[in-house]
Amino acid sequence: MLGITTLLWGLSYSIQAISAKDLGPFTTVFFKGFGGLFLLPLLIAQKKRITRQEVIGGILMGFFSFAGCLLQQLGIIYSTISKASFITALYIVFVPLIEIFLGQKVNRRIWISVSLAILGLYLLCMHSSGGINIGDLFLLIGSLMFAFQIILIDRFSRTCDPLVLTFVSQTSVAFFSFIVMIFKESVDLSAVARSFFAIFFIVFIGGLLAQCIHIRYQRDLDSSLASLLMSFESVFGAFFGWLILHQVMSVREIFGCVLVFIAILIAEMK
């Protein structure tokens, strides 16, 4: 089930690229968070009480998720799906680096991981002109936002109800996106109709369904195995980018992806 979740996340990159043809980035991110509203009837049925800590934690998680998703969507517009999936997956490397600044002890192997990740990013993102694509930069900063989100999830999920956290964080993403969307983007109903399949996937399949499966089944696996399975999101992302959008990587970019993937695996080792 966690493997299916990873596959759906990998497929989401191509679906988001398709939606970008008709929908603005804020509109797309709004729909990514909109699925959280469908958890409200379940919370009412189970008579869940939302605590102050769950509200604060959920809003913080939602803010960093909103920032990460927005930057990821912008990155997908200006970059390729393969690069987007591998750069985004670097949040696994960023998490222990952030923990170092928070005063936590981290295994020395993380520096090997960081070195490989930097080399992989150079091969993947740097062009012959010496500059980095703006889309790649968006993706890199977005990955950092996702790393902060994961640290917050780790902190608040230990004492808060995961279903409530998911509801608050997802609806926060929708709220932040909606506020900016109404000022920055005009929502064309015909464009929404043309993107019906992509929106349906973003809201229910790659969003709500994948999130619920993730929360339910990750707890049944060893954390090392779970992290290993989740890292294949980048591989599935590159595969579907080739299969659906016919995006082909150069040998240099493929080698860069391999180095980034190795860096991710080293960062996940226990």
Q: What is the pLDDT of residues 85-137, one digit of tens each?
A: 989 888 888 888 888 888 777 777 888 888 898 898 888 887 655 567 889 99
Q: Which residues of 61-99 are buried (b: 16+ CB within 10 A; e: fewer)?
A: bbbbbbbbbbbbbbbbbebbbbbbbbbbbbbbbbbbbbb
**Rounded to an integer, what distance in angstroms lies between the CA atom of residue 220 and that of residue 168?**
24
**Rounded to an integer, what distance in angstroms lies between the CA atom of residue 244 and that of residue 120?**
25
Phi-psi region of 222 (alpha: psi -120 to 50; beta: other; left: phi over 0): beta
> 3-class DSSP state for residue 219?
coil
Beta-strand runs (E) in 90-229: none
CB atoms within 10 A of CB 49: 9
Confidence of residue 215 (pLDDT cuts 50, 70, 90): low
Read off the pTM: 0.86
Cβ burial, residue 247 (10 Å; 0-12/13-18/19+) = middle
User: Cβ distance 267 to 111 under 8 Å?
Assistant: no
**Rounded to an integer, what distance in angstroms lies between the CA atom of residue 127 and that of residue 250?**
12
The mean pLDDT value of the chain amounts to: 85
**Rounded to an integer, what distance in angstroms lies between the CA atom of residue 112 and that of residue 121?**
14
Predicted pLDDT at 177? 94
**Rounded to an integer, what distance in angstroms lies between the CA atom of residue 157 and that of residue 239?**
32
**Rounded to an integer, what distance in angstroms lies between the CA atom of residue 46 and that of residue 163?**
11
Q: Give the single-character DSSP code of 130.
A: S
Range of the domain at 235: 2-268
Counting the structural domains of the chain, the total is: 1
User: Cβ distance 28 to 73 under 8 Å?
Assistant: yes
Among 47, 77, 31, 268, residue whose Cα is nearest residue 170: 31
Angle of the 210-218 helix axis to the 2-19 helix axis, nearest 10:
160
Predicted pLDDT at 56? 94
Convert the pLDDT of each residue in 55-80 to its tens digit: 999 999 999 999 999 999 999 998 88
Query: What does the chain come to in residues?
Result: 270
Convert the pLDDT of each residue in 161-207 to its tens digit: 888 888 899 899 999 999 999 888 877 788 888 888 988 998 888 88
